[in-house]
Structure 1
Amino acid sequence: MDTIRCLADTADELGESPVWDPRDNCVWWLDNLKPAIHRCDPATGAHAEWKLPEFVGSIGLRARGGFIAGTLQGFAILDPAKGIFDTIARPEPDKPGNRMNDGKVDRRGRYWCGGMNARFVETYEASASLWRLDPDGSVHRMETGIIVGNGIAFSPDDRTMYLSDSSAKTVWAYDFDSEAGTIANRRIFLSATNFPGHNGKVDGAAVDTDGFYWAALPYDGLLMRYAPDGRVDRCYRMPSSCPTMPSFGGAGHDVMFVTTARKFLNGWQRGVQRWEGALLEITGLGVKALPEPMFAG
């Protein structure tokens, strides 16, 4: 039987990008807007926080230590314990209204990151792109026409990549060539029709070893599990009304960590909602995921 508990009540404005690090058996995550990076040891509850110099949309483990990060300016190497925040690539210096958002490392050690139009609420302009950062530091534009890039995940057989545009209320699936690092044959995996009665904006996502896609719907307070054919398999009403991203971790990779946000709460909801902006832990789901890959650069 699944159990949800609050692991760290950090009151994040926009909690995002939980990542399990087997090097310290801790979960790391971000408050994008503070901005800050957190670490928590689930075994002891010990929590630490480091302030960051700029907005960071997502992080991935880095084989050489620390993290690879998608940031306000582009891509950076981040190691909070050593005080390192080094920008290594700026793919869109001509578009100051864009920034990096959701990102994931693939099993060949490349970092995929969806950009976003930081003024999306005002303009809904699809000015952002999907980027691939290779271990050699080269940056490649893989998709265009995105408003808010989110929901990146890879199937366990490395044949499918998923990408959400939250503002377009659409999740696409692509044929993924892991060896070449290419995507093709874009098709709709989920759209507004898959969310009857709900807002339908998918934020962060994860895929389990059965190939099922777990999606956070922050405007609906839901965590959904979708089968590879798009069928709804499970639906969880979360104790926090704004879940933002699920991720698997723990020694058996069978524990789910879910970040949440205060940003999307109405004024009357702040201070009333349970565990708003907290990191949640779900156990007993009966599923697991593959270990998180590490950026090879």
Structure 2
Amino acid sequence: MSFDLTFECVLDLRCAVAESPVYDERRNCLFFVDVGQGTLHRADLSGADHIEWSLEGGACSLGLARSGRLVLAQRDRVVLFDPGSGAIVRKIAEIEPERPHTRLNDGKVGPDGAFWVGTMHEVAVDRRPIASLYRVTPAGAVECKVENIVCSNGLAWSADGTVLFHSDSRGPWIDRWRFDPATGELSGRKRLADLDEGRGRPDGAATDADGNYWSAGVSAGVINCFSPEGRLIKAHLFPVPAPTMPCFAGPDRRTLFVTSLRPTDTAKESPAGSIFAARSPVAGAAVHRFDDRRLLTSRTLF
């Protein structure tokens, strides 16, 4: 699979830390967050009809729900957000509220209908492996799945739902697990890749229909495409220094959208922190939805 991607800026927002792009096939739009500003965003795939919500408690990552709402990770909690009303309608769970030096980070809905989200140690001068990866059910049950992480990231599942990819941006490594899509059980942990600053510390990620793993090499300005066995197929050069997460979008899931962050020393004219897109020769894996059907008639608990 030797090809080059041609990225174009489709939404020149210049976010502090744009992250967690998710394609909503029902609305044919993209949702994403700006972690640095605590905002949630929606835009058409062309970049038009942009909407921004500023949220008390922040916005770290998100997933789609069956009801049409969004499951949203804030600093220390997971909530349901209604794009129609622009409001948080329910708190689902709290995670590590007693830890002032951690916050929620990368999160995605798995094939099991649960929201998977990890934490990160925020203290730059003392990054210890005190973070974890959690599984959050629609009923609010929280299960710790992986421990001893500095910055949990890179969640993505194979198209058939039987493999989970996960990374530690400060490890920096990428692992793969056997995944039971019925129960969310993990087994058979295997190291996919060990990385460094030059090759690209692994940030957010996505998978394609062929089982390949696309990782944002945030420190190297590349999108690294790995085979399911960990072979680096291609390091695609990105137009700004720090891509943060790719996702496949569009009715054919063949447009790769990538968020980025804006370093403090960025030149004024640079579009760093914006949203970019490129056509891909391979389709992405389908997006899963949080199974919130039982919550539709329950009272708001927020």
- Give the TM-score taking structure 2 as reference length: 0.91
1:37 aligns with 2:33: no
Following superposition, the deviation at residue 266 of structure 1 comes to 5.2
Following superposition, the deviation at residue 250 of structure 1 comes to 0.4
Partner of 1:205: 205
Partner of 1:289: 284
SS at match of 2:144: strand
The code of the aligned residue for 1:106 comes to: G
Q: Which moved more, 1:209-218 or 1:23-32?
A: 23-32
The code of the aligned residue for 1:225 comes to: C
- Aligned counterparts of 1:64 and 1:139: Cα–Cα separation in 2: 21
The code of the aligned residue for 1:73 comes to: D
Query: Structure 2 stretches of 5 or more lacking a match?
Result: 293-302
- Aligned counterparts of 1:64 and 1:266: Cα–Cα separation in 2: 39
The code of the aligned residue for 2:268 comes to: G
- Identical counterparts, % of pairs: 31
Deviation per CA, 1:117-142: give whole Å up to 9, x if none: 122x1211111110001122211111
Following superposition, the deviation at residue 47 of structure 1 comes to 1.5
SS at match of 2:125: helix
Change (3 A) 1:42 1:83: closer
Q: For 1:54, which of 47, 53, 57 is the aligned residue? A: 57
Q: For 1:12, which of 11, 15, 18 is the aligned residue? A: 15
Q: For 2:273, which of 274, 277, 286 is the aligned residue? A: 277
- Aligned counterparts of 1:17 and 1:40: Cα–Cα separation in 2: 13
- Aligned counterparts of 1:44 and 1:6: Cα–Cα separation in 2: 9
Judge conservation of contact 2:112–2:183 (CA < 8 Å) in 1: no
- Aligned counterparts of 1:157 and 1:35: Cα–Cα separation in 2: 33
Superposition CA RMSD, Å: 1.6
Q: Structure 2 matches for 1:175-190, cutoff 5 A?
A: 175-190=178-193
Judge conservation of contact 2:200–2:221 (CA < 8 Å) in 1: no
- Aligned counterparts of 1:249 and 1:135: Cα–Cα separation in 2: 25
Whichever structure has more helix as a proportion of its residues is 1
Judge conservation of contact 2:92–2:139 (CA < 8 Å) in 1: no
Partner of 1:126: 129
SS at match of 1:158: coil
Following superposition, the deviation at residue 16 of structure 1 comes to 0.1
Partner of 2:99: 95
Judge conservation of contact 2:5–2:236 (CA < 8 Å) in 1: no
Query: How many residue pairs are counted as aligned between the two chains?
Result: 288
Query: Structure 1 stretches of 5 or more lacking a match?
Result: none
The code of the aligned residue for 2:103 comes to: R
Deviation per CA, 1:23-73: give whole Å up to 9, x if none: 211111110111111111124722121111122211000111221012101
SS at match of 1:167: coil
